[in-house]
């Protein structure tokens, strides 16, 4: 039996050769180093911060960028702060705190800091790029899971785009809201490879699995149907064999004798073994009057149920259709024609003899009785003559010369 796994293996090979999609595809993404520096106005304390907490966007160039941090106008506080921080309006303006003159070398590049949500990522990036932003930093919100991922922003040109978590975004946003200039530097981090299972791959795997299960189920159904049919045929053949054995038991047997009339034992032979009939051979006589050796025709009838010469069906010829019949067991003389076939219990002797043969046999019996009586008389005469001769010899010996007796 062929197992269900081997039956499905050729299908998978064909599908693979046909160029079907791979089960999984790899996503390569890069982390980003985010460094910030600003000076507290009251204490003149410089605050530094650096962490590999960002993640580059899908279409972003993996390069370094730096500049002052700017936020959408209106994001400094109030009930609409979160909405303004999304930077989704096409005419959005950005507030970029500048350092006092002479405090540090002036810089013209700036980086937009916006919140996740409100519109597609590419709209946020496009709005900031129109204002000549060097890079766009998108911080996540807790309502979206507060995780970083590779944001899609196809069609935004060479603008550097990264995403940071909510805590890092608030850490950068807090001094900017107070009007403190914050300088940010973005650096390329490590490369990561992550494999994903796409929807198309899931569909392909599901179809392959279902196909394999259907093939396995069909094979099992076919196997059990074949097994059931084979068992049924074996049962029927066993029943037919028993029926045929009973039918063969009804066929007459005949033992070959020298004086058989109508059977030339020197010229006729068995059509199965092609050997001449010999005296004391046991023959089986079929309903079609064809005669064969018993040990030749019985195995043939068990397998074919028909006469080898005229194809007569012995079951139909005898009118035997499987009814329960009591068949007497009659002993049959064993054949001495060189084969060791013993008399079986289901064979019977011939039941009909020709009336002419019966009368001939009676006449021959009478002749044999007459011959026997004549032979008995001749034997009796010969015995009497012998006795008389012996008496004369004894008397002659009694009167020999010399007085001897």
Indicate which CATH number applies to the domain containing 315: 3.30.40.10
Q: Are residues 335 and 363 in the same domain?
A: no
Contact, 112 vs 133, CB < 8 A? yes
Q: Are residues 72 and 133 in the same domain?
A: yes
Say how far apart CA 345 and CA 343 lie, in whole Å. 7
Q: Are residues 126 and 68 in the same domain?
A: yes
Q: Are residues 398 and 278 in the same domain?
A: no
Q: Are residues 109 and 170 in the same domain?
A: yes
**208 within domain boundaries:** no
**201 within domain boundaries:** no
Of 352, 377, 393, the last residue of a domain is: 352
Of 161, 196, 231, the last residue of a domain is: 196
Residue from 56, 48, 8, 11 nearest 32 by CA: 56
**69 within domain boundaries:** yes
SS3 104: coil
Helices 199-249/4-17 angle, 10° precision: 140
pLDDT at 37 over 50: yes
pLDDT at 198 over 70: no
Q: Are residues 367 and 316 in the same domain?
A: no
Q: Are residues 388 and 254 in the same domain?
A: no
309-350 pLDDT, tens digit each: 998 888 788 776 444 444 334 333 333 333 333 333 333 333
SS3 108: coil
Q: Are residues 42 and 181 in the same domain?
A: yes
Residue from 149, 143, 138 nearest 112 by CA: 138
**203 within domain boundaries:** no
CB atoms within 10 A of CB 59: 19
Joined tokens for residue 160: 């550097």
SS3 181: coil
122-137 pLDDT, tens digit each: 999 999 999 999 999 9
Q: Give me the mean pLDDT over the 101-127 stretch.
A: 85
370-398 pLDDT, tens digit each: 444 454 344 444 444 444 444 444 434 44
**389 within domain boundaries:** yes
**311 within domain boundaries:** yes
CATH number at 176 reads 3.50.30.30
More confident residue, 4 or 276: 276
pLDDT at 79 over 90: no
SS3 401: coil
Q: Are residues 59 and 111 in the same domain?
A: yes
Q: Are residues 185 and 115 in the same domain?
A: yes
Q: For residue 332, what are the domain limits?
A: 250-352
Of 326, 352, 378, the last residue of a domain is: 352
Q: Are residues 319 and 366 in the same domain?
A: no
Q: Are residues 276 and 180 in the same domain?
A: no
Give the chain's domain count: 3
**278 within domain boundaries:** yes
**268 within domain boundaries:** yes
């Amino acid at each position: 039996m062929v197992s269900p796994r081997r039956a499905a293996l050729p299908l998978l090979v064909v599908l693979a050769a046909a160029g079907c999609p791979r089960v999984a595809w790899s996503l390569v993404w890069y982390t980003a180093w985010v460094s910030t520096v600003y000076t507290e106005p009251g204490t003149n304390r410089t605050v530094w911060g650096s962490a590999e907490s960002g993640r580059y966007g899908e279409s972003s160039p993996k390069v370094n960028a730096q500049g002052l941090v700017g936020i959408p106008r209106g994001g400094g506080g109030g009930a609409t702060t979160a909405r303004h921080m999304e930077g989704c309006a096409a005419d959005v303006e950005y507030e970029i705190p500048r350092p006092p003159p002479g405090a540090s070398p002036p810089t013209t590049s700036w980086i937009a800091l916006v919140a996740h949500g409100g519109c597609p990522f590419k709209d946020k990036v496009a709005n900031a790029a129109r204002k000549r932003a060097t890079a766009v930093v998108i911080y996540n919100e807790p309502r979206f899971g507060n995780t970083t991922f590779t944001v899609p922003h196809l069609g935004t040109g060479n603008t550097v785009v990264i995403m940071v978590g909510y805590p890092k975004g608030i850490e950068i946003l807090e001094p900017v809201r107070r009007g403190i200039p914050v300088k940010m530097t973005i650096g390329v981090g490590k490369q990561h490879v992550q494999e994903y299972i796409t929807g198309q791959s899931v569909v392909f795997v599901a179809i392959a699995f279902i196909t394999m299960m259907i093939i396995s189920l069909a094979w099992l159904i076919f196997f059990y149907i074949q097994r059931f049919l084979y068992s049924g045929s074996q049962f029927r053949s066993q029943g037919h064999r028993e029926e045929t054995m009973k039918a063969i038991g009804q066929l007459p047997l005949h033992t070959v004798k020298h004086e058989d009339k109508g059977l030339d034992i020197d010229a006729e032979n068995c059509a199965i073994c092609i050997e001449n009939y010999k005296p004391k051979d046991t023959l089986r006589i079929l309903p079609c009057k064809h005669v064969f050796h018993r040990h030749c025709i019985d195995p043939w009838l068990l397998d074919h149920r028909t006469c080898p010469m005229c194809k007569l069906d012995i079951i139909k010829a005898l009118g035997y259709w499987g009814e329960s019949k009591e068949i007497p067991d009659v002993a049959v003389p064993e054949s001495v024609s060189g084969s060791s076939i013993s008399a079986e219990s289901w064979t019977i002797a011939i039941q009909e003899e020709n009336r002419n043969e019966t009368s001939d046999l009676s006449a021959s019996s009478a002749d044999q009785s007459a011959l026997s009586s004549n032979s008995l008389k001749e034997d009796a005469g010969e015995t009497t003559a012998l006795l008389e001769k012996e008496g004369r010899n004894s008397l002659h010996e009694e009167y020999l010369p010399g007085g001897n007796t």
